[in-house]
Structure formats: C-alpha cells, structure tokens
Amino acid sequence: MLFIFIGLIWLSQIIRILELQYSFSNQIFNVAISTLYALPSFSSPLVPFLILIGSFSVNTKLTNHNEIIIFKQYLSKNRLNTLFYFLTFSIFILFTLNNEIISNIFYEKYKIKELEIRNNLKLGTPSHKEFHIDEMVSIFFEEENNQIFYDVDAIIYNQNQFITANSVEIELSKNNFNLVFNKGERLILNSNENSKTVFDKFTYVLENKNYEKLLKDKDHYNTYELIFHTEKEYRNHGHNKIFQYFFLVFIILISLKIIFFYINKKNNIFKFSYIFLIVFLVQIFNSYLIYLLNNNNEFILIYYYSIILITLVSSYFISIKILK
C-alpha cells in the first residue's frame, strides 16, 4: 500500500511537469528521474494516514494468527509499554529528519531540475539532427552533447540570416535565452542589409522566449526558518508544520494502541472507519484554522494552538472510546 501511494505521488508529479505538446519520449526519462527528488517532501503529509491504515492491517493479521496473544505471553506489560514508547520515539525522529532536513535538500534539487526541464520544453526538443524553435530559428547539426550542437547550419527567419558555425550552445542571460554561435560565417540577405561576415563568436537573443527563475516556496524552508519568515503565510505554514508533529504523535499513539492493545472484535471495519474519519476531519479542521490565520487578523496564534490541541486530545479519547 505504501508503494502504491508513493507511486501515485510520483506519477502525479511527472504529469504535472510534462507538457504533452512537446516530445514526450525525449523528456519522460529526465522528468521521471527529477520527480524522485520530490517524493520525500510530498510523501510527508501522507505518513500519518499510512501509519494508521497500516495499524488496521497489522492488527487484523496479528489477531487472526493469535500472534498478539503470544506477544503478551512473552512480554510483560512494562516491556510492552517500553516497546510501545520506543516505536513512538523512533517514528517521530525519522519523520522529523525527513521533514526538516532530507525533504528540504531534495525538494530544492527537484525544483532546480523541474525548472531546467520546463525551460528546455519551452524551446522544444531536438529531433533527427534538427532543432526548430517555433518559427524563429532552425538549427541543423551533426552532433549534440549537453545542449551544445556541433557542425551547425542555422536559419534565423525574421532577419533572413544564414549561419554556418563549428558549434552553438544555449545560454541564459537576464530573462532570455541566447544562442551563442562559435567560429563560423554569417550571411544576411534582407531589405536592410546584404552582407557576409566571419566571426569567432556571435550571440543571437531569443527575445520572445523568457525562462522561468527559481523562486523559493514554503517547501524550501524548515520549520524554524518558516516561523521567523517575513511573510505571514510562511510563518503560518511553519505553525502548521508544528501541528503536524502533534498530529503525528496523536496518530502513532492510536496506531500502536490498535496494534498492541486492541483485541480484534466484530464490526472492526466500522470502528476503524470511524477512527479514520475522525483523523481526516481533524486535518480538514486544521486547514480551516490555518486559513483563518492567513485571512482573519482577529484570529491569533493563541486561539489556533488552544483550539487545535483541544481538538487533538478530545479526538484521541474519542478514538480510544471507539476501540473499547
């Protein structure tokens, strides 16, 4: 189940980046590799739900094979509690490391790769030793390596320019893409100029092709950086991340209770469904409170933390009550 969720996340990111009007086959491998960097960040919100669903499954398997009874025979209550708290601590630490360090590092790499792919897609994709950039430029080449084209013949249509060069490479300058031709000849045949020149370097600016820049969003920052950010929405996102830690502990306590201390009974599917619904509603309610923090100046942090902590505690006891 975990791999299914991760696979769906991965597929959604691939589809989000790809623009199907361009060459799909030439880009799909690069897109698939780059989106792997996004998995630690995009899977974090799903972790609590996966833990809860996993606990339902584990409880069913353990009790059906009487393994939970064997556990209790060989482990005293104190040892069972120790195992319970050890697992809680371990899961929390792993979640924290992913949320604060691993996901941030890989998310930045993902965004850089995504921008690189998007910018490449804006220009188009070379095919059969030809590279056509809309109706602006056509480049015919013998070899290509890392966006450098060798033994080049090119046509710049709007200026009636014909260029032969040893190589041409794509570079970024300010907001535009440039084509930098190296060591060649340029023939101009238009109403303003008829000339032939030899050059060591000639740069042509693709003026109507702006490239996207890397702008840092909320997922670039850890919780501490978000809390002290200058923008209000970023600070509130930091408080939302703090809530996610409380929410994770809430989920772990319920899940381990289900695995180690709950005896499988009839109508478990309904009990588990009620608990999942409660958990889901808590997340929705938190999203609404974050919305109030962003849009209602009278709703302050003390209200947010008071309400959400009361909600978590009451939801925990309701869930435990359901399990009895």
* pLDDT tens for each residue of 99-132: 899 988 888 888 777 776 666 655 666 777 888 8
Cβ–Cβ < 8 Å for 276, 75: no
Specify whether 52 is located in the same domain as 176.
no
Domain range for 140: 123-210
What is the Cα–Cα distance from 259 to 71, expressed in whole angstroms? 11
pLDDT on residue 22:
45
State the average pLDDT for the chain. Answer: 80
Residue 137 has pLDDT above 80, yes or no: yes
Q: What is the number of structural domains in the chain? A: 2
Specify whether 93 is located in the same domain as 221.
yes
Specify whether 222 is located in the same domain as 96.
yes
Residue 240 has pLDDT above 80, yes or no: yes
pLDDT on residue 9:
54
Helix (H) or strand (E) holding 65: none
Cβ–Cβ < 8 Å for 62, 260: no
Specify whether 319 is located in the same domain as 219.
yes
What are the tens digits of pLDDT across the range 45-65? 888 888 888 888 777 776 666
pLDDT on residue 37:
80
pLDDT on residue 59:
74
pTM, entire model = 0.66
The sign of the dihedral angle between the CA atoms of 71, 74, 78, 79 is negative
Among residues 210, 245, 263, which one ends one of the domains? 210
Specify whether 199 is located in the same domain as 226.
no
pLDDT on residue 25:
47
Contacts of the segment 115-119: beta carbons below 8 A, 24+ positions apart? 115/212, 115/213, 115/214, 116/34, 117/17, 117/27, 117/30, 117/31, 117/34, 118/17, 118/212, 119/172, 119/177, 119/211, 119/212
User: Which tokens is 139 given?
Assistant: 């480049």
Residue 229 has pLDDT above 50, yes or no: yes
Please give the backbone phi and psi of residue 195, each rounded to the nearest 5 degrees, phi first.
-155, 160
With cut-offs at 50, 70 and 90, classify the pLDDT of residue 147.
confident
pLDDT on residue 120:
61
Residue 29 has pLDDT above 70, yes or no: no
Cβ–Cβ < 8 Å for 44, 267: no
Specify whether 177 is located in the same domain as 316.
no
What are the tens digits of pLDDT across the range 169-207? 887 765 677 889 999 999 988 888 888 889 999 988 877
Specify whether 144 is located in the same domain as 234.
no
Structural domain contains residue 116: no
What DSSP string runs through 308-321?
HHHHHHHHHHHHHH
Specify whether 186 is located in the same domain as 281.
no
Measured CA distances, 251 to 82, 118, 219, 256 (Å): 18, 38, 23, 9
Among residues 190, 210, 230, which one ends one of the domains? 210
Residue predicted with more confidence, 220 or 239: 239
Kindly report the number of other CB atoms within 10 A of residue 277's CB atom.
10
What is the Cα–Cα distance from 205 to 188, expressed in whole angstroms? 16
Kindly report the number of other CB atoms within 10 A of residue 92's CB atom.
14
